[in-house]
Amino acid sequence: MHTTLIQPADLQALLSKGANVRVFDVSFDLMRPEQGNATYLETHLAGALHADINQVLSAKDPREAINGGRHPLPRRERFAAWLASQGVDDATQVVVYDRNAMNYCGRLWWMLKWCGHEAVAVLDGGLQAWVAEGGAVRAGTEPAPAPRPFSLRAPLARLVQTADVAAQLTDAAAQTLIDARATPRFRGETEPLDPVAGHIPGALNRPYGLNLTETGKFKSAAVLRQEFEQLLGQRPAASVVHHCGSGVSAVPNILAMEIAGLGRTGLYAGSWSEWCTTPGLPCAQG
C-alpha cells in the first residue's frame, strides 16, 4: 500500500499488473478555473480521470459546505458517493497527481484520508515526472468507470475549524499554525484573492514550494525533517495545524511532515479566506 508518495516506476508496475488502481488528475489553475479540465483534455496520464477542485473537491452549494472560505469542503457523504461513482472501492489504491508542483492533487489525497481511505498516494513529481520516465499519456476523455461500493469510515485526517483555531490562538503548546502561502501574502504586502491582507497572529510561514527539489520532486525525508524541526523550534510537531488561503496549498506541508516522519498534522480548511472574513478575529501583518 502506498500512503504518501509513489514513484512513476512503481505506478507503472502496478498498472502493468492490472492492480486495483484508480488514478486522478487534479490539475488546476486558480486564476483560470476552467483551465484545469482543458489541460486534462489536452494530455493526461493514460487511464486517469479528472477531479476538479471547484466542481468536485469543493462544495458548490454553501448549504452543503462544512466550513467557509473560498474552497469549502463538501460533506463527507457526498464526496464518498462521488468516489464510488468513479470506481473507487475500499481496496482501491488511489494515485493522485497534477502538473502544478503537486499543489492541487494533495487536496484529493487529504480528502480520501478524511473519508477513512488510507491507500492513496501522490505521484512524486507529477505529470512531468511521469512523462520524463516514459509513462503513457493520452488526450481526450476516458471511458466512464463502473461504480463500486465505497465505505465511509472514521476520518484518518484531522480537520480543524475556525472556532478551534481561535480558541487556542494564544496557547503555543496546544497549537502551532503554519501558513503555506507565499511570504509577501503572509506579510500582507500583497493580496490578490482575499479582502484582507495579512496572516493569523502567531502563525509561522512555510511556502509549500519549499518542500520540493529543483527537479520538482519532494525533498528527502531527512531534509524535510531537518527543515520542519528548524521551523518549529521547541514546538511539538503534534501541535501543528496547517493552513493557506483556502485550504488547498496547505496540504503539501501536511504531506511533507508525514514524509519526514513527524506524523499526520491538522488542516484548518477554511484558512485565511475564512479567518479574515469572520467578524471579530484578529489579523496581523509583517
DSSP 220: P
The reply to whether 115 belongs to the active site is: no
The torsion angles phi and psi of 138, rounded to 5 degrees, stand at -155, 170
Catalytic residue among 115, 244, 276, 283: 244
Amino acid at 248: V
Residue 90: alpha-carbon gap to chain centroid: 21
C-alpha–C-alpha distance, residues 30 and 58, integer Å: 13
CB atoms closer than 10 angstroms to residue 43: 16
Distances from the Cα of 41 to the Cα of 108, 112, 174, 247, angstroms = 19, 24, 45, 26
Task: Identify the bridge partners of residue 154 per DSSP, sorted by sequence position.
Answer: none
DSSP 174: T
C-alpha–C-alpha distance, residues 96 and 49, integer Å: 10
What one-character-per-residue DSSP string does 20-55 give?
A: SEEEEE----SSSTTHHHHHHHH-EETTPEE--TTT
Q: What is the 3-state secondary structure (H, E, C) of 60-96?
A: CCHHHECCCCCCCCECHHHHHHHHHHCCCCCCCEEEE
Catalytic residues: 244
